[in-house]
Structure 1
Amino acid sequence: MHRHAGGFTLIELMTVVVIIAVLAAIAISTYGSYITRSKIQSAKSDLSALALNLENEFQRELQYSAHATSSTAQTQAAYQGWRPAEGKDFVYTVASASTTYTLTATGIDGPLASCVLTLPSANVQQRIDPNTIGSVSGCGSVTTW
């Protein structure tokens, strides 16, 4: 009588390992891209919240305060009610005069290193393009505000 041993051959096991490795590589890459896109969206929200602070100030004072911040800490000091959700991944700056402002979020490192989000005041937005809110550059697959 022949005894037939059950189990898998080495080739079958190696094939399964390779398939799992390929699927894992695809999943990790996709997950990393998802995380980057979510950080960019969060930074957009941070800029929008900061813009609301400036617009609120304009409603009270009928002008924007003159600011030229170069770090997130300076921006937070100028607008004490504002706290960014993505303060570890972006540097937030404000350049404002009495009638206009420009808010910028610049990526710090990794896949966000070249990412720059810019949000100008509403009157500047209308001069550039009535359908445009802000600009996005160097942010990979995220190309529009």
Structure 2
Amino acid sequence: MNGQRGFTLIELMVVVAIVAVLAAIAFPNYTRYVQRSKVRTAQADLQALAANAESHRQRRLAYPQGTAKTTDELRTVFPGWAPASKSADFGFAYAPKPGYTLTATGTGRLSGCTLAINAANVRTATAGCAAFGDVAW
């Protein structure tokens, strides 16, 4: 009984080729999925900020004053808010006049994507956000 054990080199190369093709198809889709989820998280952060601004207006009959150009400055204007987005993904800003405008600007691989919401609940996304899939909001 002289049976063959193991795999031949050809069989092993076929398996490696199949795995490589599957990885080449799956990896770009996964990357796009992760980036799209980061954009969705930034949208949720903007909605939470808008809710904080409206809450401030209801309590004090005015929107918060002072411009916040960075996420850290924004946390001082809205102390009850903490972004779910990592600071490496999006930077947030607040402009108080007229009403308010909140923006989230992508950084790194998300650069070119800017989301905004204002006091009239008008929501915008730049064309750079479309590269990450359907992120209309």
Against the structure 1 CA distance between its residues 4 and 65, is the aligned structure 2 distance closer, same or farther, given a 3 Å change threshold?
closer
Question: Does residue 1:115 correspond to 2:104, yes or no?
Answer: no
**1-side partners of 2:82 and 2:5: how far apart?**
62
Aligned-residue identity in percent: 43
Match of 1:131 in 2: none
The residue type paired with residue 17 of structure 2 is V
**1-side partners of 2:134 and 2:39: how far apart?**
8
The answer to whether the Cα contact below 8 Å between 1:66 and 1:96 also exists between their aligned partners in 2 is yes
Match of 1:128 in 2: none
Match of 2:90 in 1: 90
Match of 1:60 in 2: 59
Tell me by how many angstroms 1:120 deviates: 1.3
Match of 2:30 in 1: 31
TM-score with structure 1 setting the length: 0.81
Tell me by how many angstroms 1:8 deviates: 4.4
Deviations 1:48-72 (A, max 9, x none): 0000010001111222122221100
1:64 counterpart SS class = coil
Structure 1 or 2, whichever has the larger Rg, is: 1
**1-side partners of 2:33 and 2:52: how far apart?**
29
Tell me by how many angstroms 1:40 deviates: 0.8
User: Where does the alignment leave 5 or more consecutive residues of structure 2 unmatched?
Assistant: none
Q: How many residues align?
A: 132
The residue type paired with residue 117 of structure 2 is L
Query: Equivalent residues in 2 for 1:66-85 (5 A)?
Result: 66-85=65-84
The residue type paired with residue 20 of structure 1 is V
The answer to whether the Cα contact below 8 Å between 1:72 and 1:87 also exists between their aligned partners in 2 is no
The answer to whether the Cα contact below 8 Å between 1:106 and 1:115 also exists between their aligned partners in 2 is yes
**2-side partners of 1:106 and 1:48: how far apart?**
15
**2-side partners of 1:63 and 1:81: how far apart?**
17
The answer to whether the Cα contact below 8 Å between 2:38 and 2:85 also exists between their aligned partners in 1 is yes
- Which one scores higher on RCO, CA 8 angstroms, separation ≥ 6? 2
**1-side partners of 2:37 and 2:24: how far apart?**
20
CA-based RMSD of the aligned residues comes to 1.9
**2-side partners of 1:65 and 1:85: how far apart?**
22
